[in-house]
């Protein structure tokens, strides 16, 4: 438990030094340990805007469930399902691995209150590289994947997630566009010039597209994300994804990118879990200050939720240095 005590001290000091306003951590190691703790302004049941964790907690399993049911193939072009998208060489796998060649976002992606049609901008955007050539992290690829899920299932992405993921897994505090009744439990994110954003998605493009897209928009708790991590650690105990689908996502790796997840072990690629986590560990981060890391060797999951943008975006550089320190401290507790 020395590692946990160190993690506890680190988090208390980061709050005291106003590096973060508060945080919730949930650590599980097989059936040997479960550690949950809240710091600063947060409580164990605080709901966070988890930003890009939406990609791996909603869009990735949604796509893989459709693959498993033979409704699509990873090699299918996006254009097969979204004819309005003009790049025929971009496949579903390309989008999942962030090797589509798409830019990170639309040209005015930081314009939260823009009235320009963001959907049309995505359909018309130019590629920055040939598909499959290199990793270029892109929200746009996952937005397209979310639209594919909706078109194939006949459901909005938020309805699909509720029916196919949240309810079966007992993720009772997970949703898109949370109701007003939940706002008292939600951690505010960033000052937008007149108010702190609370209960609305922080990501500007997601906000312009209605708050429920494949790249961002999920609100959830550390408890719910830990339950979700179990899908990947114990697929044989869950009907959501088969072990074959799980293995496909984390073994087909290109320059540190599996399907959806970042995967530890590629030379020259430094990940937010730190260099000491074993090869094959996988995880993802969210811009607002969230992360989920899974270590299959030790059956370990670590959920770390905070709001790194609450004190301003200049805090993000410091926060990126903090994540590996925390995860290596937790690793020492196994």
Cα 327 to chain centroid, rounded: 17
pLDDT at 204 over 70: yes
Q: How many CB atoms lie within 10 A of CB 137?
A: 15
- The C-alpha atoms of residue 299 and residue 232 are separated, in whole angstroms, by 10
Q: Whole-model pTM?
A: 0.95
pLDDT digits (tens, 9 = 90+) for 152-176: 999 999 999 999 999 999 999 999 9
The burial class, CB within 10 Å (0-12 / 13-18 / 19+), for 159 is middle
The pLDDT value recorded for residue 333 is 82
Nearest 5°: the CA angle 310, 302, 274 is 85
Identify the pLDDT of residue 1: 56
| First-to-final CA distance of the chain | 8
Q: Are 264 and 271 in contact (CB under 8 A)?
A: yes
- Chain mean pLDDT for the chain: 95
pLDDT of 334 > 80? The answer is no
* 3-state class (DSSP) for residue 186: strand
pLDDT at residue 110 greater than cutoff 90: no
- Taking phi over 0 as left and psi of -120 to 50 as alpha, with beta for the rest, 199 belongs to left
Q: In whole angstroms, give the CA distance from residue 216 to residue 325.
A: 26
What pLDDT, in 10s, does the model give residues 219-238? 999 999 999 999 999 999 98
Residue reference for tokens 């566009």: 177
Rounded distance between C-alpha atoms, residue 68 and residue 64, angstroms:
6
């Amino acid at each position: 438990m020395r590692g946990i005590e160190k993690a506890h001290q680190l988090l208390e000091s980061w709050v005291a030094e106003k590096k973060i306003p508060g945080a919730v951590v949930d650590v599980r190691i097989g059936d040997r340990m479960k550690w949950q703790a809240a710091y600063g302004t947060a409580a164990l049941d605080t709901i966070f805007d988890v930003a890009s964790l939406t990609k791996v907690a909603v869009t990735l399993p949604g796509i893989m469930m459709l693959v498993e049911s033979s409704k699509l193939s990873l090699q299918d072009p996006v254009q097969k399902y979204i004819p309005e998208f003009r790049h025929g060489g971009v496949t579903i796998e390309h989008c999942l691995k962030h090797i589509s060649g798409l830019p990170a976002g639309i040209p005015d992606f930081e314009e939260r209150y823009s009235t320009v049609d963001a959907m049309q901008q995505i359909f018309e955007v130019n590629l920055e590289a040939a598909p499959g050539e290199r990793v270029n992290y892109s929200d746009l690829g996952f937005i397209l994947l979310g639209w594919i899920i909706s078109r194939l299932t006949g459901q909005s992405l938020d309805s699909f997630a509720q029916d196919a993921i949240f309810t079966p897994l007992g993720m009772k505090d997970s949703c898109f566009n949370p109701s007003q009744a939940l706002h008292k439990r939600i951690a505010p994110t960033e000052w937008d010039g007149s108010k702190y954003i609370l209960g609305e998605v922080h990501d500007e493009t997601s906000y312009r597209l209605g708050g429920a897209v494949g790249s961002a928009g999920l609100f959830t708790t550390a408890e719910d994300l830990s339950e979700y991590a179990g899908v990947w650690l114990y697929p044989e105990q869950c009907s959501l994804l088969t072990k074959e689908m799980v293995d496909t996502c984390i073994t087909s790796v290109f320059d540190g990118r599996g399907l959806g997840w970042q995967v530890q072990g590629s030379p020259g690629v430094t990940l937010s879990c730190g260099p000491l986590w074993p090869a094959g560990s996988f995880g993802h981060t969210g811009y607002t200050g969230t992360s989920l890391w899974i270590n299959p060797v030790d059956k370990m999951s670590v959920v770390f939720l905070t709001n790194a943008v609450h004190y301003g975006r200049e805090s993000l550089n410091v926060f990126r240095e903090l994540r590996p320190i925390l995860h290596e401290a937790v690793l020492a507790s196994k």
